[in-house]
């Protein structure tokens, strides 16, 4: 039995928990190079929830996998950038150091709990394994810890259900078990990748509420990856919106709901179902996200953007500051924010 006592990174007050700096990730395939992440930078502080929003293919999950060190390399390559955890660059650490950080200091919650959990072991055994392997606990003590964790994530009758198998739980309960597993070793940072996408709306809200509650209680940093702006409004502090591997807008979460500063964010907000618009057709952003082997020149969003003009097809827009903690990578960011630019002008 292994007892891991070494702690490769010590918490330093005032230093961000995580700093992703100018990160580039590409995938080398037989058909060419897919540029999945193209210069992403963000920070997460202890106790902060950062929502990372975008459609599939935007680079949000690939960035998270690079942070966790779970990308298959090759085909993935990280040609540029840094990922600093408490000031130390993870990309310069040995595999062994990174392995120790995973689970102990940073943990990930995946979307598909059924494939993330092992179907042939009871959930109690799987939760207890964290304590047996990482803390050297006996089977009996590890099982008691598993029950404690199941209580923490509000699984009813935890003491009797600890011996049940994953398929005996509902999707929502399984996702609670995933949260329990991520929390087991009290990490400083949790990355939740679409944690509620597979659940129905009511259960989604309960699981998201639980995650937010536990994040506050343990003062962890939380990165919430989602394609759905509707699920992060009440839980996130800040938001970054990604498109074609770049951050196109960043802002405090409530500012973005009040007044989006990028046409893509505007489109995402308009496509959230609203009770007051019952019966009306739901807005959908036209077209599809770009092929990452052939990202459009200029602003990658230009073929889908109702505000695009000639300059958008030739010049990559720089990030324009829009007030405290806000910026938008759009040539017409200020006008979009103030509603002073007309859509469908091309
Ligand atoms: Fe649309 Fe142009 Fe702004 Fe890109 S830069 S989001 S194409 S208006």
With respect to residue 52, please indicate whether it lies within any of the assigned structural domains.
no
With respect to residue 345, please indicate whether it lies within any of the assigned structural domains.
yes
pLDDT at 136: 87
Least confident of 40-54, 56-70, 188-202: 188-202
For ligand 1, residues with CB inside 6 Å are: 263, 299, 301-302, 305, 307-308, 312, 317, 330-332
Tell me how far the alpha carbon of residue 306 lies from the centroid of ligand 1, in angstroms. Answer: 8
If you ran DSSP here, which 8-state letter would residue 276 be given? Answer: G
Tell me how far the alpha carbon of residue 305 lies from the centroid of ligand 1, in angstroms. Answer: 6
With respect to residue 181, please indicate whether it lies within any of the assigned structural domains.
no
Rounded CA separation 241/345 (Å): 24
Rg (C-alpha) for the chain, rounded Å, is 21
Question: Which residue lies with its CA nearest to atom 7 of ligand 1?
Answer: 302
- Write the Ramachandran bin of 117: left for phi over 0, alpha for psi from -120 to 50, otherwise beta: beta
pLDDT above 60 (res 52): yes
The residue length of the chain stands at 346
The model's pLDDT over 249-292, given as tens digits with 9 standing for 90+, comes to: 999 998 888 889 999 999 888 887 666 666 666 778 888 899 99
Atom of ligand 1 nearest to the CA of 333: 3
Atom of ligand 1 nearest to the CA of 341: 8
Atom of ligand 1 nearest to the CA of 264: 6
Least confident of 114-128, 279-293, 320-334: 279-293
Tell me how far the alpha carbon of residue 232 lies from the centroid of ligand 1, in angstroms. Answer: 25
| 299, 309, 319, best to mutate for ligand 1 pocket (most atoms within 8 Å of CB) | 299
Placement of tokens 């950080």 in the chain: 101
Whole domain around residue 293: which residue ranges? 238-346
With respect to residue 289, please indicate whether it lies within any of the assigned structural domains.
yes
With respect to residue 223, please indicate whether it lies within any of the assigned structural domains.
no
Tell me how far the alpha carbon of residue 308 lies from the centroid of ligand 1, in angstroms. Answer: 5
Q: Over range 223-229, report the average pLDDT.
A: 87
Query: Domain tally for the chain?
Result: 1
Tell me how far the alpha carbon of residue 161 lies from the centroid of ligand 1, in angstroms. Answer: 53
Q: Which two tokens stand for residue 235?
A: 């839980």
Question: Which residue lies with its CA nearest to atom 5 of ligand 1?
Answer: 330
């Amino acid at each position: 039995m292994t007892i891991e006592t070494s702690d490769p990174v010590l918490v330093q007050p005032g230093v961000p928990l995580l700093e992703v700096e100018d990160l580039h990730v590409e995938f080398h395939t037989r058909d060419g190079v897919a540029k999945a992440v193209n210069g992403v930078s963000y920070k997460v502080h202890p106790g902060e929830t950062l929502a990372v929003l975008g459609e599939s293919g935007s680079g949000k999950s690939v960035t998270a996998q690079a942070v966790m060190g779970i990308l298959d390399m090759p085909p993935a390559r990280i040609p540029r950038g840094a990922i600093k955890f408490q000031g130390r660059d993870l990309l310069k650490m040995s595999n062994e150091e990174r392995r120790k950080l995973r689970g102990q200091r940073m943990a990930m919650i995946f979307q598909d709990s059924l494939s993330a959990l092992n179907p042939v072991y009871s959930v109690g055994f799987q939760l207890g394994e964290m304590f047996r392997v990482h803390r050297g606990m006996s089977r009996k003590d590890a099982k008691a810890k598993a029950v404690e964790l199941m209580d923490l994530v509000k699984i009813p009758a935890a003491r009797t259900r600890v011996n049940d198998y994953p398929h005996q739980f509902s999707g929502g309960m399984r996702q609670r078990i995933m949260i329990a597993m991520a929390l087991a070793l009290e990490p400083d940072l949790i990355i939740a990748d679409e944690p509620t996408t597979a659940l129905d709306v009511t259960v989604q809200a309960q699981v998201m509420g639980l995650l937010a509650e536990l994040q506050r209680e343990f003062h962890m940093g939380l990165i919430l990856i989602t394609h759905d702006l509707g699920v992060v409004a009440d839980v996130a502090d800040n938001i970054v919106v990604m498109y074609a591997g770049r951050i196109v807008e960043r802002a405090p979460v409530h500012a973005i709901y009040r007044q989006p500063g990028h046409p893509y964010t505007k489109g995402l907000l308009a496509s959230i179902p609203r009770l007051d618009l019952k019966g009306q057709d739901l807005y959908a952003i036209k077209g599809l996200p770009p092929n990452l082997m052939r990202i459009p020149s200029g602003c990658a969003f230009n073929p889908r953007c109702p505000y695009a003009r000639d300059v958008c097809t030739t010049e990559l827009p720089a990030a324009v500051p829009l007030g405290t903690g806000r910026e938008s990578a759009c040539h017409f960011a200020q006008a979009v924010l103030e509603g002073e630019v007309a859509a469908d002008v091309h």
